[in-house]
Amino acid sequence: MHTDPASALELERVSRHFDGRAVLSEISLAIPSGKITCLLGQSGCGKSTLLRIISGVDRPDPGSRIRMGGTEIVGHGRFVEPEHRKIGFMFQDYALFPHLSVAENLAFGLRHLSKPARKDRVAEVAARIGLNHLLDRLPHSLSGGEQQRVALARALAPQPAILLMDEPFSNLDQGLRERVRRETVDILGGIGTTAIIVTHDPQEALAVGDLIVLMRAGRIEQVGTPFEIYDRPCSAYAAEFMGPCNRLTGVWAKGRIETPIGTFPASLDLPDGALALACIRPQALSIGPDGQGISARVVAKTFMGESELIDIMVHPLAQSLRMHSHVRIPVGIGEKVSLQLNGAQVHVFPEEPQGGGLPAA
């Protein structure tokens, strides 16, 4: 197994079966040191199982190998127990001890230290995360955001080499979630922590992750930076998971897909005449006065506050196209307009077999 010195953790062909069903299949992945990696995917795709295997709470199938800091912790009959892996785990529900003060919660994982050293470490981590004014409080008296910070501090107190976080922001209201998320990223970046965060929210992964691992049905669909995975998705599934898309089937000819609303080039190895799929981001569409583009009609408008969703119908398409605009467009429902396109937000893929896209919610 090749070891990358820039990797904090390396997984090779990690698999896990339950009752004969593959929950993880042949996962090979390098987690960069000092960065935040997001495991992203729908419920049931295997991301939380992978987190438990990394932590040592669950064992992978025989043949799986894991190295941490260049040392094998799983493989060839070797299995390092969780308490010896120097891995921290922050739970989705925070799992704070209700009868212990904040200071006592922070000290819980430091029992291997002397009492003075434990007290110094609690003071150090509390100061770094801004918890000094809360040290004597019990968890039930804290807000959701404060509980999240205490759970983060407790996980960081033993100075783990890697911090695992399972949906750490999902219990917070939207506005608070964004603020706490920013604070958490700043804290982790400030101390250079290697973190692996599980999330089902693509916007969260884009906002938080230095690296995104998109998972699908127990396998890795795509790995990349936020820009790579959003701007250059490897499949229609990846394109649609990372953000809304209008799907248009077209015909492949001479290096381009031909659709009822235009032709778009792509680097695909397809024979002429084959079916292909164009995934068009809502922000790729704009509208102007009738007669200055493709003839269309406005069929619905949804005001979102900072933006507006506009559904437009174009002949001969059976379904309307959705456009996302941050500019107020003074057009009414039923009005004729012209559709214009920005081809940079059009992603082209081979046509998938029926059922190849996102499953129904």
Please tell me which residue, 350 or 5, carries the higher pLDDT value. 350
91 in any annotated domain: yes
pLDDT at position 340 is: 87
74 and 221 together in one domain: yes
127 in any annotated domain: yes
337 in any annotated domain: yes
326 and 212 together in one domain: no
pLDDT at 215 over 70: yes
Distance CA 275, CA 43 (A): 31
- Confidence class of residue 1 from pLDDT cuts 50, 70 and 90? very low
CATH code of the domain containing 160: 3.40.50.300
The amino acid at residue 195 is: A
CATH code of the domain containing 253: 2.40.50.140
Q: Which of 42-46, 68-72, 315-319, 353-357 has the lowest mean pLDDT?
A: 353-357
Side-chain half-sphere CA neighbours of 188 within 13 A: 29
355 in any annotated domain: no
42-87 per-position pLDDT tens digit: 999 999 999 999 999 999 999 999 999 999 999 988 999 999 999 9
Total structural domains within the chain: 2
Domain end position, chosen among 236, 256, 281: 236
284-303 per-position pLDDT tens digit: 999 888 777 889 999 999 99
pLDDT at position 120 is: 96
**How, if at all, do strands 246-253 and 256-259 pair?**
antiparallel
Burial class (CB in 10 A: 0-12, 13-18, 19+), 183: middle
198 and 297 together in one domain: no
Domain end position, chosen among 236, 258, 291: 236
Rg of the chain over all Cα atoms, to the nearest angstrom: 24
Mean of the pLDDT values across residues 270-279? Answer: 94
pLDDT at 16 over 80: yes
Where do we find the tokens 């922070």?
Answer: 106
pLDDT at 354 over 70: no
Distance CA 269, CA 271 (A): 7
Domain extent, residue 167, equals 7-236
- Confidence class of residue 110 from pLDDT cuts 50, 70 and 90? very high
1 in any annotated domain: no
The pair of three-digit structure tokens given for residue 336, joined into one six-digit string: 């004729």
143 and 254 together in one domain: no
CA distances, 57 to each of 13, 65, 77, 84, 280 (Å): 18, 15, 17, 12, 42
CA nearest to 197, candidates 208, 182, 186: 208
Domain end position, chosen among 182, 211, 236: 236
229 and 124 together in one domain: yes
Side-chain half-sphere CA neighbours of 274 within 13 A: 16
The model carries a pTM of: 0.91
262 and 192 together in one domain: no
C-beta neighbour count of 327 within 10 angstroms: 7
358 in any annotated domain: no
User: Could you give phi then psi for residue 25, rounded to 5 degrees?
Assistant: -130, 110
71 in any annotated domain: yes
133-161 per-position pLDDT tens digit: 999 999 999 999 999 999 999 999 999 99
